[in-house]
Amino acid sequence: MDRATYNNGRAAYNTGTAGRLRLTLHAKRGDKPLVSEPRREGSPNSVRAVKGMNDVLPSEVGRWHRIEAAFRRAMEWLGYREVRTPYVEPTPLFVRAIGETTDVVEKEMYSFSHHDEPLTLRPEGTAGIARAYVEHKIYNEEPITRWYYLGPMFRAERPQRGRYRQFSQLGAECFGDAGPGCDAEMIDSLVDFLRDIGIASPEVFINSIGSGDTRARYKQALVAKFVPVKDKLSAESQRRLVTNPLRILDSKNPVDRELVQDAPKVLDFLSDEDRAHWDALRRHLDALGTPYQIDTRLVRGLDYYGRTLFEIKGAYDKLGAGSTLIGGGRYDSMITELGGPQVPAIGFAAGIERLLIASEIQVPTSVVDVLVAPIGEEAFNAALVLGRDIRRVGIRCEVDTRKASIKALLRRANTLGARIALIVGERELRDGVVEMKDLAEHMQERVARADIVTRVATHVAMPFVAHKRAP
């Protein structure tokens, strides 16, 4: 068996006994494959989706469409335009942009090597969009750039409710505006978006971790605080004490959280410029009437953030401890680090799966408005033409050509949620009519073929009125 192992991304390629090429991906620190290998031919067990990577079936996708449409509308009202970037990016992009010591880069990336080029399935959207902004020199074309995105991301973490190895994310980035008015506008619009998709009482949490000088002084204060109690910290926080002390504040370990309670607060270390930015942010939110809470332990999980940080939480009864719906913040140095000029930026992201759990949004179950039911093969051509004519006026219509019985055809019409069933058989063809059944009103009539499209359009547009039976 041939085997080539690449250090970058820890991807192992091997050829099985059937001669097929298989790719096994590992998380950067993992020691188990994170992609299930295909079952052998002849196995009685069926092939299943990879753990943590889920199918979205037609019965579920309607709610996805509603949330995606609401997000597009909210962003476009703010002047954002959609951008689409590749699912695969160079691994060094994420190391530089996100931070080498972050959990995402250290533990959660699906990385591999192809022809000695280190590549990674994107674990988040901001780095790729910033790369596109720099690569295409968008900063030369306009002073402010507002982009939004939707699409799949990939992280090799333990699947749990609302957190998956392949997950869908929506987000936006604003380049060229140093805020804080931009920051406040973004936060306020996201509260409206969450309400629009049926999340009743979103709560906004904000913090500022300042710019470079503020963070340097604050990190020194954290090191001075935690070094004397280093032995009490978890192993992960002891490591972070060396690599990134700010992340200790984000620890979920109960002992760490207890030690963090009396840690210095970053707001006490803000420079004059950072303080002015922070005060202005709060004034703008107050003017917009956007309620917020100050959370001095809010640091987020990525190294590129500076100054404004925010999280919007809600649906605690559905999401429990993992109640963060949207998270974001300012990253004013990333464009420079990726080879561009000094351009301030702010962005946010949200997992669509988590929004679906939190949202009360509902969608109609109807698949089509009209089912055309041909009776007998001689009616098929007429039925196909009729279905096309109905669709051309903007009405959803399916033609069932299974040669099924009239009972089975009407049962399918009900299953699809059709308002109208149109029956075309030998007698209808001879008489130049179509039998129309209004399944909602329980009404039936024969309509001339020349008039049927107009009559169907009228019935589909009519609201359904439930009639009470006479006593």
Domain shared by 150 and 224, yes or no: yes
Looking at the domain assignment, is residue 4 inside a domain? no
**Integer angstrom CA distances of residue 361 from 55, 67, 321:** 20, 8, 22
Domain shared by 415 and 298, yes or no: no
Domain shared by 192 and 218, yes or no: yes
Q: Are 172 and 147 in contact (CB under 8 A)?
A: yes
352-362 residue pLDDT tens: 999 999 998 88
Q: Is the pLDDT of residue 28 over 60?
A: no
Domain shared by 141 and 196, yes or no: yes
Looking at the domain assignment, is residue 34 inside a domain? no
d(CA 9, CA 113): 6
Q: What's the confidence (pLDDT) of residue 396?
A: 96
36-87 residue pLDDT tens: 334 444 456 788 998 999 999 998 999 999 999 999 999 999 999 999 999 9
pLDDT range class, residue 374, cuts 50, 70, 90: very high
DSSP string, 352-413: HHHHHHH----------SEEEEE-SGGGHHHHHHHHHHHHTTT--EEE--S---HHHHHHHH
Domain shared by 341 and 402, yes or no: no
392-411 residue pLDDT tens: 999 999 999 999 999 999 99
Domain shared by 333 and 425, yes or no: no
Domain shared by 194 and 102, yes or no: yes
pLDDT range class, residue 35, cuts 50, 70, 90: very low
Domain shared by 151 and 231, yes or no: yes
Looking at the domain assignment, is residue 260 inside a domain? yes
Q: Is the pLDDT of residue 104 over 90?
A: no
Looking at the domain assignment, is residue 37 inside a domain? no
pLDDT range class, residue 377, cuts 50, 70, 90: confident
Closest CA to 357 of 311, 328, 310, 317: 317
Domain boundary among 327, 358, 389: 358
- Phi/psi class of residue 199: alpha, beta or left (left: φ > 0; alpha: ψ in -120 to 50)? beta
227: number of Cβ within 10 Å: 11
Higher pLDDT, 104 or 371: 371
d(CA 381, CA 363): 34
- Phi/psi class of residue 416: alpha, beta or left (left: φ > 0; alpha: ψ in -120 to 50)? alpha
Question: Could you tell me the CATH number of the domain that includes residue 313?
Answer: 3.30.930.10
407-458 residue pLDDT tens: 999 999 999 999 999 999 999 999 999 999 999 889 999 999 999 999 999 9
Closest CA to 51 of 30, 35, 37: 35
Looking at the domain assignment, is residue 432 inside a domain? yes
Q: Which residues contact 341 (CB under 8 A, 6 or more apart)?
A: 139, 335
Domain that holds residue 158: 58-113+122-358
Looking at the domain assignment, is residue 402 inside a domain? yes
Q: What's the confidence (pLDDT) of residue 44?
A: 61
Looking at the domain assignment, is residue 340 inside a domain? yes
Q: What's the confidence (pLDDT) of residue 40?
A: 42
Looking at the domain assignment, is residue 45 inside a domain? no
Q: Is the pLDDT of residue 96 over 90?
A: no
Task: Please tell me the least confidently modeled range out of 12-16, 75-79, 148-152.
Answer: 12-16
Domain shared by 85 and 216, yes or no: yes
- Phi/psi class of residue 428: alpha, beta or left (left: φ > 0; alpha: ψ in -120 to 50)? alpha
**Integer angstrom CA distances of residue 51 from 33, 163, 222:** 11, 12, 39
Closest CA to 67 of 194, 201, 167: 194
Q: Are 63 and 359 in contact (CB under 8 A)?
A: yes
Tokens of 169: 């994310």
% the chain with pLDDT above 70? 88
Domain boundary among 358, 379, 412: 358
Average pLDDT over residues 344-352: 96
Domain boundary among 334, 358, 382: 358
Render the burial of 31-65: b for 16+ CB within 10 Å, e for the rest: eeebbeeeeeeeeeeeeeeeebbbeeeeeeeebbe
Q: What's the confidence (pLDDT) of residue 451?
A: 96
Q: Is the pLDDT of residue 26 over 70?
A: no
Task: Please tell me the least confidently modeled range out of 2-11, 172-181, 386-395.
Answer: 2-11
Higher pLDDT, 337 or 244: 337
Domain shared by 257 and 210, yes or no: yes
pLDDT range class, residue 227, cuts 50, 70, 90: very high
Domain shared by 222 and 292, yes or no: yes
Overall number of domains in the chain: 2
Domain shared by 326 and 423, yes or no: no
Task: Please tell me the least confidently modeled range out of 85-94, 114-123, 197-206, 313-322.
Answer: 313-322
Q: Are 440 and 462 in contact (CB under 8 A)?
A: no
Task: Please tell me the least confidently modeled range out of 259-273, 289-303, 338-352, 391-405.
Answer: 289-303
Question: Could you tell me the CATH number of the domain that includes residue 434?
Answer: 3.40.50.800
